Amino acid sequence: MTRRWIVLLAALALVLVAGAVALRFSAVKGLEWTRVVPAGDCRCADGSEFAFWERRADPAKVVLFLNGGGVCWDATSCAFTGEHGESDFYDWSSRGVEPENRSGMFDVTRSDNPFAEYSYLYVSSCTGDAHLGNASQAYTPQLTVEHRGYVNGTAALDHLARHYPGATEVVVVGKTAGSVAAPIYGGLVADRLPGARVTVFGAQSGAWPDHPDFNAGVLDARWGAYKAVPAWAVDELAVRDWGVPRFWSQAGRHDPQLVLGRFDFADDPHAASELARWTSGSTLDVITANEAAIEAAGVRLHSYTAPGDDHGLFEFGKFYTIKVRGVRLVTWLGALIGDAPPGDVGP
């Protein structure tokens, strides 16, 4: 082979490699995130800076993703221990909780991802209050926790309304503890963007309790949630009567156009393990009772319950492989955000 041909082949190889890199960069570029630091009184539990993340795609379709991150309500569980702002109980700063280019619902290259074309606002919890709190709580003379989850979350909502005023579809997705307040945020989105179709999909908080002591002692006394949320979310309910399942019924009654759905693993050992003192019966028993109470209030709650003791969903390949009674979760979820919400699926 002559030197001329060797040079030509080498040049062609460089062109092909450059093309492959460009294609890969183009695909990855769609997953890039922009860090947004809102103004106002936003902060994490330790008083440090709060931020959320944005991925801009179709401005008419938006996912408001309320990340998990654990919860706390006493000096032990709320202590600022561990590294990178994370303890065994909750995330107390925004260090290390930024989104990654993950799999699951964040793999926008998959044709079966119902959110592939959506813009995302990714709101992590760093306040130990399930995106609900507005209180500065002194647990000891050395430990003051800023439970400002509701302040942080509504700052992200303000960004949504300001930068996506023409949105026609908004899906509020809540992960674990982040799904507790998801229906309240769904109602708030509907208030801010009345022209949008709003769907709420909360995953893995179906077993959270409706117990008077938890409602008054944690939601209100520790986190200040009862006083923080809008009037329609309380609607003259007494503090001890205002429990997590009622977030769904209050939101559905406030805006009957909301589409509400939830997902749980039937025997998830982590779903509400820290709340055991306020619950009784199996995880599935609590989930079933909560859903019955919500629907008894006249609110339709679409449900998908998978068998087993698994945990985790949105960032994993199982988001696409879970199938119960012949119905794939991702197909069911596509119907939930579509024009014909699906029937319930269970083990």
DSSP 110-131: -TT-TTTTEEEEEE---SSBTT
Whether residue 309 lies inside any domain: the answer is yes
- Interhelix angle 182-192/149-163, rounded to 10 degrees, is 40
> Does 225 fall in a domain?
yes
Range of the domain at 325: 39-336
CATH code for position 162: 3.40.50
Residues 31-52 have pLDDT tens digits of: 789 999 999 999 999 999 999 9
In a domain, 21, yes or no: no
Residue 8 pLDDT = 41
Say if residues 36 and 181 touch (Cβ distance below 8 Å): no
Q: Is 275 among the domain residues?
A: yes
Q: What pLDDT shows up at residue 6?
A: 41
**Quick one: pLDDT at residue 276?**
85
Q: Which pLDDT does position 27 carry in this prediction?
A: 40
Classify residue 159: in a domain, yes or no.
yes
- Let me know if residue 5 belongs to a domain: no
d(CA 245, CA 257): 19
pLDDT tens for each residue of 83-117? 888 899 999 999 878 887 779 999 999 999 999 99
Tell whether 310 is covered by a domain. Answer: yes
- Dihedral angle sign, alpha carbons of residues 333, 335, 340, 345: negative
Model confidence, pTM: 0.90
Is the CB of residue 219 less than 8 Å from the CB of residue 132? yes
Cβ neighbours around 167 below 10 Å, total? 23
Q: Tell me whether residue 30 is in a domain.
A: no
| pLDDT for res 237 | 95
Residue 66: C-alpha distances to residues 5, 24, 123, 169, 344 (Å)? 57, 29, 5, 17, 23
What pLDDT was estimated at residue 205? 94
When the pLDDT of each residue in the chain is averaged and rounded to a whole number, the result is 90
Task: Read off the pLDDT of each residue in 239-243 and give the average, rounded to a whole number.
Answer: 96
Confidence of residue 13 (pLDDT cuts 50, 70, 90): very low
pLDDT recorded at residue 14: 40
Q: What are the contacts of 216-220 at 24+ separation with CB within 8 A?
A: 216/240, 217/73, 218/73, 219/132, 219/243, 219/244
Domain count, the chain: 1
